[in-house]
């Protein structure tokens, strides 16, 4: 690897400081480093990523890495995450080990781990991609909403809940976990559906094949009042929908490519991250 794309969380001063430390270390090893061109809103400007980048180094927490993945996935660039956050399920390297990690990377002592992503298509007009999850939830009002679930064109169930999470295995340790959903090994291929605060005693998460098509329809409540909800992709890109609207969720062709340096298993990582939680 010779050319590196360094992405930071500009809301954290320590992120920029760490990025400078990484750049200096790489350039002292004869490597080239570039920073992304950012919009005023703090997003990478599409079409500005150099075509000859070998690896992206993302400095921040899991949220920073997820946002970067939404852009880098279309370039096929592998991502190495440097953790400045708290849990850091996705980030590979802790800051105190960064120089050692770079040496390992440059020596070729690493592997690339592919992570499944999801596409959400709203009314056939707008399509967005997500690494963690697609969430349909209430907007403003404290009233529970009605969600109809269809799988491969067949009606399955109706949920009265605050929302519905459609998650990848990678996202199973995110909002899905907070909502009581199961943890799934992150390199698996499947789609996980979890209701948020469901108004029932027997509603649990359901796991589907990665080849299934999952449709969430915002239905009418028993009082027949039209409702409004919002759809978010990895916690961003809020889009409003109304009663009767549907979002179609499928596995994306693209995959996020994560650089893995450690030989630790997912179970070991999970055990370490969940200490005291």
* Residues 6 or more apart in contact with residue 13 via CB below 8 angstroms: none
Helices (H), 143-218: 175-178
Query: Residue 23 belongs to what H/E stretch?
Result: helix 13-28
Active site residue 62: yes
The whole-angstrom separation of Cα 172 and Cα 184 is: 6
The whole-angstrom separation of Cα 34 and Cα 38 is: 12
Q: Which of 54, 62, 103, 223 is catalytic?
A: 62
Chain centroid to Cα 199, Å, comes to 27
Q: Which residues pair with 161 in a beta bridge?
A: 145
**Ramachandran class of 237: left when φ > 0, alpha when ψ lies in -120 to 50, beta otherwise:** left
* Residues 6 or more apart in contact with residue 253 via CB below 8 angstroms: none
Going by C-alpha positions, the residue among 174, 161, 151, 177 that lies closest to residue 246 is: 151
Going by C-alpha positions, the residue among 144, 134, 135, 140 that lies closest to residue 197 is: 144
**Ramachandran class of 197: left when φ > 0, alpha when ψ lies in -120 to 50, beta otherwise:** left
Beta carbons of 226 and 245 less than 8 angstroms apart: no
Encode 150-181: b = buried (16+ Cβ within 10 Å), e = exposed: bbeeeeeeebbbbbbbbbbbbbbbbbbbebeb
The catalytic residues are: 62
């Amino acid at each position: 690897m010779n050319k590196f794309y360094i992405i930071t969380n500009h809301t954290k001063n320590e992120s920029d400081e760490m990025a400078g430390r990484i750049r200096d270390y790489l350039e002292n090893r004869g490597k080239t480093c570039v920073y992304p061109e950012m919009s005023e809103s703090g997003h990478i400007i599409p079409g500005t990523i150099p075509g000859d980048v070998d690896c992206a180094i993302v400095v921040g927490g899991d949220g920073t890495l997820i946002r970067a993945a939404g852009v880098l996935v279309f370039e096929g660039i592998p991502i190495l995450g440097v953790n400045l956050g708290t849990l850091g399920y996705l980030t590979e390297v802790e800051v105190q080990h960064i120089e050692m990690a770079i040496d390992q990377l440059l020596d070729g002592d690493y592997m690339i781990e592919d992570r499944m992503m999801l596409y959400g298509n709203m009314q056939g007009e707008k399509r967005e991609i997500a690494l963690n999850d697609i969430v349909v939830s209430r907007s403003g009002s404290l009233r529970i909403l009605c969600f109809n679930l269809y799988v491969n064109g067949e009606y399955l169930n109706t949920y009265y809940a605050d929302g519905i999470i459609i998650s990848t295995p990678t996202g199973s340790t995110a909002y899905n976990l907070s909502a009581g959903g199961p943890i799934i090994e992150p390199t698996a291929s499947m789609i996980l559906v979890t209701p948020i605060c469901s108004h029932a005693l027997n509603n649990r998460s359901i796991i589907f094949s990665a080849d299934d098509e999952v449709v969430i329809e915002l239905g009418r409540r028993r009082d027949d009042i039209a409702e409004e909800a919002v759809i978010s992709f990895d916690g961003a890109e809020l889009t409003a929908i109304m009663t009767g609207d549907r979002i179609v969720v499928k596995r994306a062709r693209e995959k996020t490519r994560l650089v893995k340096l450690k030989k630790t298993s997912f179970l070991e990582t999970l055990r370490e991250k969940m200490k005291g939680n």
